[in-house]
């Protein structure tokens, strides 16, 4: 549902924006056309590629991660479907009759939730009717084209977690546990425990509890392991806190963001932190995160071990 959007002149000198690659800058602008009036878009790299870069050979998934890393967008999930929200979108976009389409994130899913100023009640507004014809009249100031319709529609609420529908391994509740499933669960729990122990040591969280009452830490780590991230890759993300001034507390709220659930909340967030570690260790390149991480670990295995000191 493409829409006309305005671009604020300050966009071009924004500190995070100017650090992006040229392709990522173009994607950041294009996402405004694909987002609803809350600045939320569907996290579908292939669809975004077809709509925004139909004639270009470019991978969208790494560019989305780059945008997350430079605080241009945030990623979240509702009912296992991915969405992205654009920072400062509502600050600079003022449609006459706004319309929200996608479910909102929970406050715990994005940083500085209140600053997004998400719409609570919206009215319908049609998409751009004819991209090749004459443009519709624009509203005054920094708004978008004038819309039609006046029936109020509530913002689709963020769906509640499906807490009893499926367990962490994706099986139906009450299903008999077989041998292979038990073995898989034990392996996941052992890997998750290793990640938690590493986080406690790296971040000085002596006495922290892994399986908290809300279960967020445990579920986030298990979720990323199920996504195919390895223990060592997650450790790179944990180490990434040390290489991110924002996460160490150099932000408007002077708050340290090093909670394990935040690090492992979703794949793009995890990769953004891990990429910071890889860059700090001299690993560069435009390939996917998993390819660069694999190359880094392979180089570490091939590095000669330090020689034992000779006996006196």
Least confident of 77-81, 165-169, 238-242: 165-169
Average pLDDT estimate for 213-231: 89
Which of 62-66, 129-133, 233-237: highest mean pLDDT? Answer: 233-237
* pLDDT at residue 122, as a whole number: 43
Q: How many CB atoms lie within 10 A of CB 230?
A: 16
Strand stretches in the chain, DSSP E: 40-42, 73-78, 81-86, 121-123, 152-154
The rounded mean pLDDT for the chain is 77
Q: What are phi and psi of 123, to 5 degrees?
A: -120, 155
pLDDT (0 to 100) of residue 111:
77
Write out pLDDT tens, residues 24-65: 999 999 998 888 888 889 998 999 999 999 998 888 988 998
| Residue-level pLDDT at 52 | 92
pLDDT confidence band for 236 (50 / 70 / 90) = very high
At 120, the pLDDT band (50, 70, 90 cuts) reads low
Higher-pLDDT residue of 269 and 11 is: 269
The whole-angstrom separation of Cα 284 and Cα 296 is 10
Average pLDDT estimate for 218-226: 91
Say what the pTM is. Answer: 0.48
**φ and ψ of 279, to 5 deg:** -65, -40
Per-residue confidence (pLDDT) for residue 115, from 0 to 100: 72
Q: What is the pLDDT of residue 233?
A: 94
- pLDDT tens string 57-74: 888 988 998 898 888 888
**Range name among 186-200, 214-228, 271-285, 295-309 with the lowest pLDDT average:** 295-309
* pLDDT tens-place string over residues 159-217: 444 433 344 444 444 444 456 778 888 888 889 989 998 999 899 887 788 887 778 88
> What is the secondary structure of 107-129 as a DSSP string?
GGGSTTGGGG---SEEE-----S
Q: C-alpha distances in angstroms, 294 versus 240, 299, 301?
A: 17, 9, 11
Looking at residue 166, its pLDDT comes to 42
What integer pLDDT is reported at residue 174 of this predicted model?
44
Phi and psi, residue 105, nearest 5° = -75, 160
Q: Do the Cβ atoms of 66 and 31 come closer than 8 Å?
A: no
CA atoms in the 13 A half-sphere facing the CB of 147: 23
């Amino acid at each position: 549902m493409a829409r006309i959007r305005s671009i604020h002149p300050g966009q071009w000198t924004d500190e995070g924006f100017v650090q992006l690659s040229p392709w990522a800058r173009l994607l950041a602008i294009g996402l405004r056309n694909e987002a609803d009036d809350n600045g939320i878009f569907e996290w579908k790299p292939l669809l975004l590629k077809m709509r925004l870069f139909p004639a270009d050979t470019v991978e969208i998934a790494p560019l989305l991660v780059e945008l997350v890393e430079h605080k241009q967008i945030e990623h979240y999930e509702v009912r296992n479907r991915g969405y992205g929200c654009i920072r400062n979108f509502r600050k600079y976009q003022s449609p006459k009759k706004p319309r929200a389409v996608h479910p909102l994130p929970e406050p715990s899913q994005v940083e500085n939730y209140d600053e997004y100023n998400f719409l609570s009640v919206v009215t319908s507004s049609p998409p751009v009717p004819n991209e090749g014809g004459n443009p519709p009249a624009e509203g005054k100031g920094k708004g978008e084209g004038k819309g039609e319709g006046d029936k109020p529609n509530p913002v689709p609420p963020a769906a509640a977690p499906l807490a009893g529908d499926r367990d962490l391994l994706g099986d139906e509740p009450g299903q008999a546990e077989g041998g292979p499933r038990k073995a898989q669960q034990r392996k996941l729990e052992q890997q998750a425990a290793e990640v938690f122990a590493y986080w406690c040591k790296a971040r000085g969280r002596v006495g922290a509890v892994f399986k908290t009452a809300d279960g967020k830490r445990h579920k986030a780590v298990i979720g990323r392991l199920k996504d195919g991230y390895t223990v060592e890759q997650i450790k790179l993300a944990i180490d990434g806190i040390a290489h991110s001034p924002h996460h160490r507390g150099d932000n408007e709220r002077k708050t340290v963001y090093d909670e394990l659930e935040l690090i492992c909340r979703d794949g793009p967030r995890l990769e953004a932190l891990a990429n910071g570690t890889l860059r700090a260790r001299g690993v560069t390149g435009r390939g996917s995160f998993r390819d660069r991480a694999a190359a880094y670990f392979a180089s570490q295995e091939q590095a000669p071990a330090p020689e034992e000191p000779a006996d006196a």
